Structure 1
Amino acid sequence: MGFHPEWSEISKLVSSSECIFIKKLSRNDTSWADSPKNGHQNGFLIPRAIAESNFFPELKNSNPDKSHIFDAEYQTFWPASGEVRTSTIKYFSMRNPNDIAKARPRYEWQHTGVPKEQFQRLTPASLLIVGKLAQLKFGTRYWFIVVDSVSEEAEIIETLFELKADFHYGLFNPSLLDASASASASEIDQLILELSQAIQEGTLEQFIKKQALPSPEALAVRAQTKWLNENSLDDMNPFSISQPGDAVMCISRDIEYSIYKQAELRYRAAQVARILLHGGGDPVANLVRAFSELDSIFLSAAQTRKSRAGLSFEHHVARLFRDGHIRHEAQVVFGGRRPDFVLPDVKALNLKGDALIVSLKTTLRERWKQLALEKPLGAIFLATVDDRVSGEAIDEMHRNAIFLVVPESLKKAKESAYNGYGNVITFKQFFDDEVKSKRPSLIISL
């Protein structure tokens, strides 16, 4: 696992920068650090859009005899180790420039001169954070941090920069970052107006009660409805949706989160207003005296935000089963176990028929291992939207006869380790092959 500073230090660097480049690292960006077979790269690739954005130093041709090569050498600061490196960006504008028949443009900019140890043993989908400082510091204007995707800092970065499920890379302006970024300006203005009115009328307590955070069921329905409207669909039938896994990932990780954040802003802002204005006293005095209460509010907000993700995933997969008219039972206890779904039902499972166990994990970590105990009872499919699963874990699942079901885009993503593994299938493959083709009796005839 790579090593990096804690968020407090990262935050200072972010706030001192005029622009931030974030990239979700591909396996090609990191495999060279773990295996001598890929040692020729010794760095990461810069996407064309970023290379042409003027974020990095301008590249020039430094060797007239090789006019197709452009490069730039510059100093880079790596806070994790406190060192300044001489790094190089190189762009080969043509492949095989001396062979007219094979010559063709290339669109890869390679960045070398990086600390190898910071790219070693990284979990898939880890992040590279690059800041362009407003002023010269550490002898350079560029700082680099590699953040492992399973770290707490990665979660903070994903939240702060609002990185969506399909994020690969992007440029960000630190001055525009805001805790309420997911709410539009009109929504914020409306909240300010409503809060001010409730305070003036002495109805703040009633206002707070109306802002109760939505239940997982209600949140799931709102997110599904929004996705269906945006895609002009009437239902979430997995047999008619081209990429049902991507749909679930988008709904649970992007749409639902955005809805939740808007509801959370209204609820938490009202709670804080009540504390600051308590008894009509001085807001500053109330802030100091009730600091522990404020701390509890924000701690509760963070914990609730984390726990709601797993609950929603189940609702979205259940919607696929319902709209696809697939026989299933949810959360049925048998033999001391309670899988998320059994297809078609527990009775078939007990009779050792052609039944399926479908378990859900938004994030896998080591929790999938308990599924190996259910192997004798039926075929096991583990569905997830987690792109951080290692190749070693996938191999171990294969040895335990567990199939991993992932969104379609994650199966082929360069940042994940899923491509090339036979026991990793997409949601589309699960519904079309494992259900419709191999087990048509699971589908209810209408």
Structure 2
Amino acid sequence: MEEITLFQNVAEESEWQLVEHWVSRSNKLFLKKLSRNDTSWADDKGKHQAGIYIPRLIRESGYFPSLSARQDKPHIFQASCVTFWPQTGEHKNSGMRHYSNKGPETHLTVIPSELFKGLSPASWLIGGRLKEPVAEAMYWFIVIDSTSQDAEILETSLDIDSDFHHEIIEPSALLSARALDRDASAELIEQINAAVRQGTLHKLLASVATLPSPSKLAEEAQAAYFKTDKLGSLDPFQMDAPGDAVMRISRDHEYQIFKRYELRRRAVEVISALIQHSDLTTSVVRGFADLDRIFLSASQQRKTRAGRSFEYHLAALLKAGKVRFEEQAILGGRRPDFVLPDKRSIQQKNARDYNDAAILSAKTTLRERWKQVTHERFNCAIFLATVDDRVSTQALDEMQAADIALVVPESLKTSKEAAYSKHPNVISFRDFFQNEVKHKRPALLAVDIKRSS
């Protein structure tokens, strides 16, 4: 009980410290992006079975105890599974249940409902199989809300791709920073060491001080996507899933490219700050202000890059599809990302039809910022494009009431983890281009709309 109390106190300060502690005591980890069915039972008891889904591949991986058929009901396979939940300090006599006559899924039942109440869509469940039992428990689990700082740390630490759902992972992958590229890292280490020895660190710092512009990063990311997917164009009318393409380019390809550039710049900056003093302790204490400035700048630059790059990739879709648009036009004190077809048409709201124009804004993450769009009223439809899978049902209802259509990647529209599938005001990128542009607003196209879909 002493240990449980101790880590309850730690949890109040930082859940990530709690995660790191239990990861260090585990030989295998299980990470799952939670679906709506994984959490809705906690908010609406009796509507769904109380528990989380364990995918078939995970069930059959050997991570969890083996299931055995019940003698009285042989179609039910089950196993006991004592679990520990550090956030509440509870031990639970959890169980694994698989109803073979209802499909491949297995439920992990008897778990703390309070941890699953009110969670944002696409939140996380991380757990581990312990090296040594804790009061009979061989498994632990921690729930991380997708809008929390801990979720950002988790996603960054594991370089989680945009199409991630669940996986068994090694503890070492989370406890140590994943190398972007071991050969490139080794080369950078040698380059910095050589500059220190030769007294040319200031020249190296000058050479890496400026990161590529957002447009340059966007170009490199698109080129990487074309190379990987054997495509030569982002024409949304020729793609089955243009939204998924933009999500992969911005959240996967470009982020990896950006981190390589970022590592070079920030590593040299940190070394330059620390090398000014005679020993490591003095360097850290006296150079703390410099280190704080470096990492604050890095954090702010990441957020700025993410938002601007999404706009560049969305513009690439519009250009490739020959959709007429104007960027960053100032309208009544607002500056929507894209007006279709142009600012002049938007302003002539009394001299045109409703479907002769449209406004398209882009936000990588919504939170409350989507409400900025509601002021952009110019007798035309308002569309808000995002790759955010964490938007709540309440926010979607509010957007629908404000007559705003949310445009999301195709895989997110149908995702079990997001809240989009049943909302009529949420459409996919493909629907936006095929129906909202090509079918309803053909005047927005600069070419014949009769080309093949």
TM range (shorter): over 0.9
CA distance in 1, matches of 2:310, 2:410: 16
User: Structure 1 residues 398, 433: closer, same or farther in 2, change over 3 A?
Assistant: same
CA distance in 2, matches of 1:232, 1:296: 41
Query: Of residues 359, 362, 368 in structure 2, which corresponds to 1:360?
Result: 362
- The equivalent residue for 1:231 is 229
Asked if the contact 2:241/2:429 (under 8 Å) is kept, the reply is: yes
Letter in 2 for 1:219: L
- The equivalent residue for 2:23 is 14
User: Structure 1 residues 19, 303: closer, same or farther in 2, change over 3 A?
Assistant: farther
Equivalent residues in 2 for 1:177-216, closer than 5 Å = 177=174, 180-211=177-208, 212-216=210-214
Query: Of residues 141, 154, 157 in structure 1, which corresponds to 2:154?
Result: 157
- The answer to which of 433-442 and 398-407 deviates more is 433-442
- The equivalent residue for 1:103 is none
CA distance in 1, matches of 2:174, 2:20: 12
- The answer to which of 133-142 and 240-249 deviates more is 133-142
Query: Of residues 321, 326, 330 in structure 1, which corresponds to 2:327?
Result: 330
Equivalent residues in 2 for 1:90-169, closer than 5 Å = 90-95=97-102, 106-169=103-166
Letter in 2 for 1:384: T
Letter in 2 for 1:165: S
Q: How far off is 1:42 after superposition? A: 0.6
Letter in 1 for 2:91: V
- The equivalent residue for 2:41 is 32
Q: Say which SS state the counterpart of residue 236 (structure 2) adopts.
A: coil
Aligned length, in residue pairs: 431
- The answer to which of 131-140 and 398-407 deviates more is 131-140
Gaps of 5+ in 2: 1-10, 449-453
Deviation string, structure 1 residues 387-438 (Cα, Å, up to 9, x no partner): 1112222122111111110000000000011112211110011111111122
- Whether 2:294 is the aligned partner of 1:307: answer no
Q: How far off is 1:37 after superposition? A: 4.3
- The equivalent residue for 1:391 is 393
- The answer to which of 199-208 and 18-27 deviates more is 199-208
- Whether 2:53 is the aligned partner of 1:55: answer no
Q: How far off is 1:376 after superposition? A: 4.1
Letter in 2 for 1:6: E
Asked if the contact 1:224/1:251 (under 8 Å) is kept, the reply is: yes
Deviation string, structure 1 residues 323-382 (Cα, Å, up to 9, x no partner): 111110000102111111000011111111321000111111111122222234321001
- The equivalent residue for 2:431 is 429
Query: Of residues 404, 407, 424 in structure 2, which corresponds to 1:405?
Result: 407
Deviation string, structure 1 residues 252-305 (Cα, Å, up to 9, x no partner): 1111111111111111111222233226x3344323332332233223222322
Letter in 2 for 1:38: K
Deviation string, structure 1 residues 114-159 (Cα, Å, up to 9, x no partner): 0111111111111111122222234422111111111111111111
Deviation string, structure 1 residues 160-209 (Cα, Å, up to 9, x no partner): 12211111111111213476525111111111222222222221111122
Query: Of residues 337, 346, 359 in structure 1, which corresponds to 2:343?
Result: 346
- Whether 2:445 is the aligned partner of 1:438: answer no
Query: Of residues 211, 216, 219 in structure 2, which corresponds to 1:218?
Result: 216
Asked if the contact 1:375/1:401 (under 8 Å) is kept, the reply is: no
- The equivalent residue for 2:89 is 82
Aligned-residue RMSD, C-alpha: 1.8
Letter in 2 for 1:85: K
Query: Of residues 361, 369, 372 in structure 2, which corresponds to 1:370?
Result: 372
CA distance in 2, matches of 1:282, 1:37: 62
Q: Give the TM-score normalised by structure 1.
A: 0.92
Equivalent residues in 2 for 1:230-249, closer than 5 Å = 230-249=228-247
- The answer to which of 298-307 and 145-154 deviates more is 298-307
- The answer to which of 10-19 and 115-124 deviates more is 10-19
- The answer to which of 298-307 and 262-271 deviates more is 298-307
User: Structure 1 residues 326, 180: closer, same or farther in 2, change over 3 A?
Assistant: same
Q: Say which SS state the counterpart of residue 377 (structure 2) adopts.
A: helix
User: Structure 1 residues 306, 135: closer, same or farther in 2, change over 3 A?
Assistant: farther
Gaps of 5+ in 1: 96-105
Asked if the contact 2:20/2:175 (under 8 Å) is kept, the reply is: no
CA distance in 2, matches of 1:254, 1:215: 18
User: Structure 1 residues 178, 226: closer, same or farther in 2, change over 3 A?
Assistant: farther
Letter in 1 for 2:326: E
Q: Say which SS state the counterpart of residue 375 (structure 1) adopts.
A: coil
Letter in 2 for 1:244: P
Letter in 2 for 1:75: V
Equivalent residues in 2 for 1:278-297, closer than 5 Å = 278=276, 281-297=278-294
CA distance in 1, matches of 2:65, 2:213: 49
